[in-house]
Amino acid sequence: MIHSSAVISPQADLSPGVKVGPYSTIGDHVSIGRDSEIGPHVVIEGHTQIGERNIIYPFSSIGTPPQDVGYGGEDTRLIMGDDNVVREYVTINRATTKEEWKTVIGSHTYLMAYSHVAHDCLLDDNVIMTNGATLGGHVTIGEYAILGAFLAVQQFVRIGTYAFLGAKSGIDRDVPPFMITAGPRAKLYGVNQKGLIRRGFSQETIDLLKRAYSIIWRENKRFDEGIRQAREELEPLPELEMLLNFLSGSKMGVLR
């Protein structure tokens, strides 16, 4: 199921069931897992490992060198999991040599048209990036996070699990788990209640997170004092611990 016009290196490793469309190019060190579909005019190069049942749409560019003036052609990596959808004109760069030498895309992610994943980013499972969303280098995104259209995330920022980021925003600090952001210079707007309900969270857990949000961000106290008060006063559910540990571990600062 490889089109005659596709250019595939003899050193590439394509598993059974892989389909490659017209005019696509697959480089020397690429491996593609079983039953993946590579559409027309796709470029995949570098040390790129793609899992099973991925669908990559036309004009995507996967595993190209990082957009970093300090990169010297080293054999850095891009690793993708299974069951991902990569829509038209998506760009995913392999890593630099400044951290772990790898850019990682989890499984069941959906990268919509024109979105960009820069070098050394780490995306957990079930992440959605909508049209034109852009990540700077070294960004980390937790599972089930949703990024709105045409937003930009600054380098080294962390996006927490189940966070929802509104469209057309600039994200320059960490976004806590379970929260909503919006605005040109993004601000927090409370707990992602609808998203958590859709994912099966109990009302008890949602109410606890809303109480934590109120303590930490609305009661006009120092940030570390709010975290300490939430730990002392609220029931120690796993979701609360996840939120508080995320906040305590921030190096870029947290959106307010």
Active site residue: 119, 138, 166, 226, which one? 119
Q: Please tell me which residue in 51, 63, 106, 137 is annotated as part of the active site.
A: 137
CA atoms within 13 A on the CB side of 85: 10
> Helices (H) and strands (E) in the chain — how many of each?
4, 27
Axis crossing angle, helix 203-213 with helix 238-248, rounded to the nearest 10: 30
Q: Are 76 and 95 in contact (CB under 8 A)?
A: yes
Token pair belonging to 146: 């949703």
Active site residue 132: no
Q: Specify whether 137 is catalytic.
A: yes
Per annotation, catalytic residue among 41, 47, 120, 174? 120
Asked if residue 233 lies in contact with residue 202, where contact means CB atoms within 8 angstroms, the answer is: no
**Helix (H) / strand (E) containing 205:** helix 203-213
Neighbour-count burial of 182, counting CB atoms closer than 10 A to its CB (0-12 exposed, 13-18 middle, 19+ buried)? middle
138 is catalytic: no
Supply φ then ψ for residue 169, to 5 degrees: -115, 155
Catalytic residues: 119-120, 137
